[in-house]
Structure 1
Amino acid sequence: MTNAMAQPKLGGSKFGSARLLLLLGPAFVAAIAYVDPGNVAANLTSGAKFGFLLVWVLVAANVMAMLIQYQSAKLGLVTGKSLPEILGERLRPLGRRAFWLQAELVAMATDLAEVIGGAIALNLLFHLPLPLGGLIVGLISMAMLAVQNRFGQRPFESVIVFLLLVITVGFLFGLVINPPNPADAAAGLLPRFEGSESVLLAASMLGATVMPHAIYLHSALARDRHRPLKLSPSGSDGHSAVEEFSPNLLRRLIKATRVDVVVALLLAGSVNIGMLLLAASTLRGVEGTDTIEGAHQAISHSLGPVVATVFGIGLLASGLASTSVGCYAGATVMSGLLKFKVPLLLRRVISLIPALVLLSIGVDPTWALVISQMALSFGIPFALIPLLRLTSDRKLMGEHRDGLPLRLAAILSTVLIVALNLVLIYLTLSGAE
């Protein structure tokens, strides 16, 4: 089934709540990037080491994420093209290939973290060896991508939304058993640090939240859902064109996209904040909680095996969903920048190899997650800065160009994100304590 066949009919003047619900979905797929195993590692470590100190970082990061993902989706809706496609048209051949190379390395680092996170979850739940767990995660993600290939975007979105709900229950269930002190949690909204390690963790949490592949992908998801490609009217030249919408309908779709982004990112942000609150109230001061395995064991001791099992299921769902979305994003970047498509399933096989090699040679999985997050930090400016420039371009965006308040907020967000990620890179490479 093609994407065009999978779309709800958008014609007509009515735009009620039922129709609005049909338009939700793309942002939920992009939101998976915000609850991946890298986030789990960063949030648990922050709560275990510093309690509620860095709650404000996650709140700020989530607000920035809403802004960025909305801009990405709006770009795809207004132009009918993904961010990689627009960059591919504007860059010279050498620059286009160089840009693709850095984006591909970021995609590989993303996939590495997701597969390793899923392997850790299978090890915690079923005591499977990490290499076998990584292979199983890869095979299941291949099945999920096959759904997208065979049935289109809507069923794939449904699978991802289901996994997001499993992630939410898995990571927030412990808060029901052991809720944090509201006053202590509220105190974490005051921006402050306690030494260089807290700065490093804050940058890592932000880097794990605002991920480049989600920025590239969301523009394509919004475009494919609402502006499916179709043959030109003549059909003789074999070219495709995006479906043109009336100005009123386009404005309504952008409004629906805002709702989609806000709801999806509120859910993802709640999961992240919930993980930190759980760690702060349960793991603070407990030895060995600087790894996911150690945190899982501490949760089991503190809250019981049922909570620990539900947490493990949430981690597994996180790995499965995020590795599928990451592979999808990598294919989007390649086709947009190089005009060259590799079948999703073949790409899944190729991108699985580095993770399986690292797991097979005995590399510490938590260390691999940390290094992958640092690698992602290098790619953030390459995605954010072009997005900001394009959505501010009146010639490209027309009446939907970012207004002055939105542009100023986007500039501030970009500066803060890039600066904190440079701090993360410096502190990681220098080994600062």
Structure 2
Amino acid sequence: MTQQHDSHSLGNVHNTVTTENKTGWRKLLSFLGPAYLVSVGYMDPGNWATDLAAGSQFGYKLIWVLLLSNLIALLLQNLCVRLGIVRGLDLAQASKNTYPPFVNFCLYVMAQIAIVACDLAEIIGMAIGLNLLFGLPLIWGVSITLLDTLLLLLLLNKGMRKLEGFIISLIFIVGVAFLAQMFIVKPQMIDVAKGFIPTKLNSQALYIAIGIIGATVMPHNLYLHSSLVQTRKIDRSEEGIKTAIKYNFWDTTIALNLAFFVNAAILILAAAAFYYRGYHEVAEIQDAHKLLTNIFGKLAPALFAIALIAAGQSSTVTGTLAGQIIMEGHLNLRIAPWLRRLLTRLLAIIPAFFTILHAGDEGLGKLLILSQVVLSLQLGFAVIPLIHFTSDKKRMGQFANSIPMKAAAWFFAVIIVGLNVQLVIQEIGDWAKSGPDSAQLVHFVIVPIAIGIGVLMLYVFLRPLLYKHVNQPIQVPHGLASTLDNLEAIQYKQIGITIDFSKNDQDTIRHALMQGGKRAHYNLIHVVETAGARYYGKQVMDSETQSDVDNLDKYVTTLTDLGYKAEAKIGYGGAATAIAQIAKETEIDFLVMGSHGHKVLKDLIFGTTVDAVRHKVNVPVLVVKPQKK
């Protein structure tokens, strides 16, 4: 029978990577992967802008801020690992179980806006990279990123390991590109080492530091990591959970330290190439590329552009995965994968597209900064619930956060939320000063929205403290498994069989007869999908329709001669709708369908009738896969 879509997070790849019966390095390697997908969010084009500004304005002095950001990220991502492994929930699903529907919907909207903002940064970064490397106009570069939806769909259909391999390859390209640039710019390593010592920050340096932290710890990574760790099939015993947490800790540590290396390399590159040569106002990615060309020739800027494309491409893949997680977790809504990813990408492409049309290429830099501010607004709505969920001893048991870990987590949360609130206030203030029209918009629209968001964040913080919930069921897209208390065989009376006059019909009919024997009544269903049938329905009787009726009658006659009760049912127009209508009118209680066997591309073109029918009928559906001859 068709399996209902897996109720787990990222159900199509849940528990698909085996970790059991492995030891030593093989065991560790089986767990490596999820954190690498997460780590790309820590080295996306949004990080590049803040790192370039930090290095060009302050040299190596803010490397310690990058290190602090990395330590915060390590703690928060490991909390996500605990939530996903111990409770088997991603962050969105856990929020769904804790907060009222309206608040939960608001959390979904905030998370979706953040993911669109993140996706926007990846689109801009990749478009700029293509422009720098090939001279492709930015508007064409933005349009090309629409193809990422097809790439992600293809990779997911190939399996989780293939997707992880693709992302790790792109990260490797980024790392090698910056390693090569380090040899070209030749930084002063003694000065670099001094940059790890914390120093007092003036107002300008504090603003850059806030930007670094805001761009580093991204909300979509918290949703993503809590889901990705569930792709590993583990032993659910106490010892098995401890082992999974340990290996995922190493996965996270290695991956995020690699992301720290990339961010530090960008900052060091900017410091060595610009700060110490008197270029102190380099914040635009395009400006950095031009200066690299003037100072070092063609090799360094080419490596810079290649790394930018790889970072944008890898980050956009993980961003669309996070979009799937929050939609399914918060709303119990699961739509076709290609459609969901296309919608996410369109929501990000549209503002980038119109920015280029109205503000020119220069407007993209400002839009990139705005996307980071939007991300800052959402961060608290992911961090605060995460700490609450992983500190809950009733649900986490012995794996709940220890007192020192809880104290560190809340301390970092206060820093993150406080600094990001300061960043948002600063941006709103600058916006209000830009002109009288902007001031009115800020005072009457932006400020009330910001206040409303602040009240929502306070509620998100207080609700788990004030209300000790009973253990609510996990609300997932297709519900929970029922208690098995009656396993007697079911006698089907009306069985529907979909017929398409292909070589698969024999197997489909044979499996249907196995379900009902000679007791049941069989309804052979065929849908005529010609243009005439779609418009005129039963009134049409063209040559194809007449041929289909005759062929269906032959099947009925054959079954009747063998002693079975059979009847022909012809539908018209869309296959899924017609089949569902016949099933309802005939009171069919069991439906047998033949699988078309389409691959990824054909599914995109022709659609999946089986999935569509399954959502339109309320009876069991048996899908018969074509037998290989």
- TM-score (ref. length: structure 2): 0.64
Find the residue that maps to 1:431 and give its secondary structure.
Answer: helix
Hey, what does 1:257 align to over in structure 2? 248
Alpha-carbon distance between aligned partners in 1 of 2:386 and 2:204, rounded to the nearest angstrom: 31
Residue 38 (structure 1) aligned to one of 42, 46, 54: 46
Residue 108 (structure 1) aligned to one of 104, 116, 131: 116
Larger CA deviation: 354-363 vs 75-84: 354-363
| Maintained 8 Å contact 2:16/2:231 | no
Alpha-carbon distance between aligned partners in 2 of 1:360 and 1:161, rounded to the nearest angstrom: 35
Q: What amino acid does structure 2 have at the position aligned with 1:358?
A: T
Query: Which runs of structure 2 are paired with 1:17-416 in the superposition (5 Å)?
Result: 17-139=25-147, 141-226=148-233, 245-284=236-275, 285-286=278-279, 289-353=282-346, 354=350, 355-363=352-360, 364-416=363-415
Alpha-carbon distance between aligned partners in 1 of 2:109 and 2:118, rounded to the nearest angstrom: 14
| Maintained 8 Å contact 1:26/1:225 | no
Q: CA deviation at 1:264?
A: 0.2
Q: CA deviation at 1:212?
A: 0.3
| Maintained 8 Å contact 1:171/1:311 | yes
Q: CA deviation at 1:251?
A: 0.9
Structure 1: where are the runs of 5+ without partners? 228-243
Alpha-carbon distance between aligned partners in 1 of 2:135 and 2:232, rounded to the nearest angstrom: 40
Task: Count residues in correspondence.
Answer: 414
Find the residue that maps to 2:232 and give its secondary structure.
Answer: helix
| Maintained 8 Å contact 2:45/2:311 | yes
Find the residue that maps to 2:384 and give its secondary structure.
Answer: helix
Alpha-carbon distance between aligned partners in 2 of 1:5 and 1:261, rounded to the nearest angstrom: 19
Q: CA RMSD in A?
A: 1.9
Q: What amino acid does structure 2 have at the position aligned with 1:11?
A: E
- TM-score (ref. length: structure 1): 0.91
What whole-Å deviation, never above 9, does each CA across 1:148-205 have from its counterpart, x for those lacking one?
4312322111111111111112233211222321221122223234532211111111
Find the residue that maps to 1:45 and give its secondary structure.
Answer: helix
Change (3 A) 1:2 1:382: closer
Change (3 A) 1:287 1:400: closer
Change (3 A) 1:16 1:90: same
- Larger strand share, 1 or 2: 2
Hey, what does 1:237 align to over in structure 2? none
- Larger helix share, 1 or 2: 1
| Maintained 8 Å contact 1:170/1:312 | no
Q: CA deviation at 1:2?
A: 4.7
Change (3 A) 1:5 1:108: closer
| Maintained 8 Å contact 1:51/1:279 | yes
Larger CA deviation: 261-270 vs 407-416: 407-416
Alpha-carbon distance between aligned partners in 2 of 1:173 and 1:320, rounded to the nearest angstrom: 21
Change (3 A) 1:223 1:295: same
Q: What amino acid does structure 1 have at the position aligned with 2:295?
A: S
Find the residue that maps to 2:401 and give its secondary structure.
Answer: coil
| Maintained 8 Å contact 2:130/2:136 | yes
Q: What amino acid does structure 1 have at the position aligned with 2:17?
A: Q
Structure 2: where are the runs of 5+ without partners? 1-10, 434-629
Alpha-carbon distance between aligned partners in 2 of 1:296 and 1:3, rounded to the nearest angstrom: 39
Change (3 A) 1:108 1:347: same
Q: What amino acid does structure 1 have at the position aligned with 2:31?
A: L
Q: CA deviation at 1:309?
A: 0.3
Q: What amino acid does structure 1 have at the position aligned with 2:263?
A: N
Percent of aligned pairs sharing the same letter: 35
Q: CA deviation at 1:423?
A: 1.8
Alpha-carbon distance between aligned partners in 2 of 1:4 and 1:390, rounded to the nearest angstrom: 21
Alpha-carbon distance between aligned partners in 1 of 2:356 and 2:174, rounded to the nearest angstrom: 24
What whole-Å deviation, never above 9, does each CA across 1:46-81 have from its counterpart, x for those lacking one?
101111121110000001111111111121011111
Q: What amino acid does structure 1 have at the position aligned with 2:417?
A: V
Alpha-carbon distance between aligned partners in 1 of 2:281 and 2:58, rounded to the nearest angstrom: 14
Q: CA deviation at 1:308?
A: 0.8
Q: CA deviation at 1:136?
A: 1.5
| Maintained 8 Å contact 2:56/2:281 | no
Greater C-alpha Rg: 2
Hey, what does 2:496 align to over in structure 1? none
Alpha-carbon distance between aligned partners in 1 of 2:181 and 2:66, rounded to the nearest angstrom: 19
Structure with bigger RCO (C-alpha 8 Å, 6+ apart): 1
Q: CA deviation at 1:360?
A: 3.7
| Maintained 8 Å contact 1:212/1:380 | yes
Q: What amino acid does structure 2 have at the position aligned with 1:270?
A: F
Q: What amino acid does structure 2 have at the position aligned with 1:342?
A: I
| Maintained 8 Å contact 1:115/1:137 | yes
Q: CA deviation at 1:341?
A: 1.7
| Maintained 8 Å contact 2:14/2:230 | no
Alpha-carbon distance between aligned partners in 2 of 1:356 and 1:153, rounded to the nearest angstrom: 32
Alpha-carbon distance between aligned partners in 1 of 2:149 and 2:430, rounded to the nearest angstrom: 38
Hey, what does 1:240 align to over in structure 2? none
Q: CA deviation at 1:5?
A: 7.4
